[in-house]
């Protein structure tokens, strides 16, 4: 085939695709012709995966331009940029533990049933639910949700680094819509297409989704049993070891931080001087574990067993998996960490963050939830108090501010 002939046929195919979807979207002053052309052109790829023209038209009806916030959000992922202690403070704290215990009571029978069926610790399921959607609270905030096909099309069209990922996920999302598992209106998720209470990307949904409540569809957006069962199914199919822990906090002997990243049996680690702060022994000395030092050589050590790496199949960040494990331990009643992180002087620990937020609330400057997270509302309250007492109004929490409010 000659080059000119090949280009002519490609042009004809694109013209036909554009014609088929010419009436897809209404006239919009913010419409992006390039984006609309991309959507029309992508149909041939979707069709090869079994997506019908009817499904495709329904999915993109009214979608005229890229999601304006998706690319902004794609630039920032807190688990890779926060200090480990700040990351954990915002996710493993009195608020997340209290809500988690209430959810454990509310969904106790469901959790017991899933734990028995899949062999996955119920507290791990709860901790992942907390991490992914704050026990579903995020799903009630429409401003944080994105229409999944539009979000993924945005990434495929405008983010070269994520284009291949987005195309694959977009086809999977269209299959979910075509299968009737969820309505178009409810097909919402994060900027990257993670969906429902436990934030499954579309391809993972197709692999692991479970209809636990017998509705006929695996509805991870509206059914807590379905969402938790889907989470347990993913962990079980990726090697979760029933009855085993995710890891241990350990004291590190002098020079022991040089062993970070190495894997030995727990008995071998114990012989080298690594021990649990509580003084208790390891449950299974023959189990292999890898040493992690997430806070650096002066911070606590962790001996991570195979279940830690199974949790990372959910999210590849060490910080994420540590948070899940620590929160699960507290939900189970094992208590929190016994060692301190090497925080810079003058910064607040999690208890002090809660105290500062509580004092701001008592003074009438803050009316949000006391959860240890310093978002825009908390920072505005801090700035107002700082200005009132003559401090630099930078809106940042600090030990000096807390001490001033204690007087």
Q: pLDDT value at position 8?
A: 40
Predicted confidence (pLDDT) per residue in 194-213, tens digit: 999 999 999 999 999 999 99
Q: How far is CA 156 from the centre of its chain?
A: 21
Region 175-188: mean pLDDT is: 97
**Residue ranges per domain, the chain?**
3-71+148-188, 350-406
Alpha helices in 33-147, H assignment, sequence order: 33-48, 53-60, 70-73, 78-81, 84-89, 94-106, 108-118, 122-133
pLDDT at 381 over 90: yes
pLDDT at 374 over 70: yes
Least confident of 38-52, 187-201, 266-280, 360-374: 360-374
Contact 376, 363 (CB under 8 A): no
The H or E element containing residue 231 is helix 224-237
Sorted by sequence, the CB contacts under 8 Å of residue 339 that are 6+ apart come out as: 249, 251, 277, 299, 300
Predicted confidence (pLDDT) per residue in 208-217, tens digit: 999 999 999 9
Angstrom distance (rounded) from CA 145 to CA 397:
29
Angstrom distance (rounded) from CA 171 to CA 97:
37
Region 371-392: mean pLDDT is: 93
Least confident of 2-11, 158-167, 239-248, 374-383: 2-11
Q: Provide the 8-state DSSP code for 195.
A: B
Contact 157, 71 (CB under 8 A): no
Put the strands of the sheet holding 301-304 in their side by side order: 247-250, 301-304, 288-292, 263-265
Q: pLDDT value at position 346?
A: 87
Q: pLDDT value at position 13?
A: 42
Torsion 377-382-385-390 (CA) sign: negative
- Which band of pLDDT confidence, cut at 50, 70 and 90, is reported for residue 104? very high
Which residue, 143, 150, 155, is CA-closest to 173? 150
- Which band of pLDDT confidence, cut at 50, 70 and 90, is reported for residue 74? confident
pLDDT at 14 over 50: no
pLDDT at 134 over 60: yes
In DSSP notation, 299-356 reads S-EEEE-HHHHHHTTT---HHHHHHHHHHHHHHTT----SS---PPTT---HHHHHHH
Query: What average pLDDT does the chain have?
Result: 92
Q: pLDDT value at position 118?
A: 99
Angstrom distance (rounded) from CA 175 to CA 231:
20
Contact 35, 155 (CB under 8 A): no
Q: pLDDT value at position 31?
A: 83
Angstrom distance (rounded) from CA 217 to CA 50:
20
Q: Is 275 helix (H, G, I), strand (E, B) or coil?
A: strand
Predicted confidence (pLDDT) per residue in 236-263, tens digit: 999 999 999 999 999 999 999 999 999 9
Predicted confidence (pLDDT) per residue in 305-362, tens digit: 999 999 999 999 999 999 999 999 999 999 999 999 999 988 899 999 999 999 999 9
- Which band of pLDDT confidence, cut at 50, 70 and 90, is reported for residue 82? confident
In CATH terms, the fold of domain 3-71+148-188 is: Helicase, Ruva Protein; domain 3 (1.10.8)
pLDDT at 299 over 80: yes
- Which band of pLDDT confidence, cut at 50, 70 and 90, is reported for residue 6? very low
Q: What is the pTM of this model?
A: 0.89
Q: pLDDT value at position 407?
A: 86
Q: pLDDT value at position 29?
A: 56
Q: pLDDT value at position 278?
A: 92
Give first-to-last CA distance, the chain, whole Å: 84
Q: pLDDT value at position 2?
A: 43
- Which band of pLDDT confidence, cut at 50, 70 and 90, is reported for residue 191? very high
Beta strands in 112-236 (DSSP E): 146-147, 188-189
Q: pLDDT value at position 21?
A: 56
| Higher pLDDT, residue 16 or 37 | 37
> Residue 97 corresponds to which tokens in the numbers above?
């533990």
pLDDT at 182 over 60: yes
pLDDT at 11 over 90: no
247: β partners: 304
CA distances to 36, 100, 304, 338, 405 from 141, rounded to whole Å, are 28, 19, 35, 35, 32
Q: How far is CA 95 from the centre of its chain?
A: 18
What are the counts of helices (DSSP H) followed by strands (DSSP E) for the chain?
19, 6
Q: pLDDT value at position 331?
A: 98
């Amino acid at each position: 085939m000659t080059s000119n002939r090949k280009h002519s046929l490609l042009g004809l195919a694109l013209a036909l695709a554009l014609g088929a979807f010419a009436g897809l979207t209404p006239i919009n002053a913010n419409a992006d012709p390039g984006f609309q052309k991309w959507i029309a052109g992508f149909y041939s790829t979707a069709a090869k995966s079994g997506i019908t023209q009817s499904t495709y038209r329904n999915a993109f009806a009214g979608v005229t331009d890229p999601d304006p916030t998706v690319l902004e959000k794609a630039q920032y992922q807190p688990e890779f940029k926060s200090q480990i202690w700040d990351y954990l403070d915002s996710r493993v704290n009195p608020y997340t533990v209290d809500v988690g215990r209430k959810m454990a009571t509310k969904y106790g029978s469901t959790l017991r049933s899933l734990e028995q069926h899949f062999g996955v610790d119920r507290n791990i399921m709860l901790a992942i639910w907390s991490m992914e959607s704050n026990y579903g609270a995020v799903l009630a905030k429409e401003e944080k949700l994105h229409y999944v096909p539009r979000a993924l099309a945005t990434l495929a069209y405008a983010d070269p680094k994520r284009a291949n990922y987005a195309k694959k996920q977009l086809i999977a999302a269209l299959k979910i819509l075509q299968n009737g598992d969820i309505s178009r209106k409810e097909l919402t998720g994060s900027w990257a297409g993670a969906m429902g209470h436990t934030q499954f990307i579309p391809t993972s949904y197709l692999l692991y989704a479970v209809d636990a409540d017998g509705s006929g569809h695996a509805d991870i957006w509206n059914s807590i049993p379905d969402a938790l069962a889907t989470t347990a199914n993913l962990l079980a199919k990726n090697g979760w070891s029933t009855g085993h822990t995710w890891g241990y906090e350990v004291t590190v002997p002098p020079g022991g931080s040089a062993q970070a990243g190495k894997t030995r049996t727990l008995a071998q680690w114990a012989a080298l001087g690594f021990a649990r702060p509580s003084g208790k022994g390891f449950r299974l000395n023959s189990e292999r574990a890898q040493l992690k030092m997430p806070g650096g050589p002066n911070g606590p050590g962790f001996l991570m067993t195979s279940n830690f790496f199974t949790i990372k199949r959910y999210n590849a960040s060490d910080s994420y998996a540590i948070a899940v494990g620590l929160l699960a331990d507290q939900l189970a009643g094992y208590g929190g960490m016994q060692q301190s992180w090497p925080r810079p002087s003058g910064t607040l620990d999690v208890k002090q963050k809660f105290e500062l937020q509580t004092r701001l609330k008592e003074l009438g400057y803050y009316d949000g939830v006391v959860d240890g997270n310093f978002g825009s509302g908390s920072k505005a309250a801090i700035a107002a108090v700082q200005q009132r007492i003559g401090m630099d109004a930078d809106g940042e929490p600090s030990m000096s501010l807390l001490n001033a409010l204690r007087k």
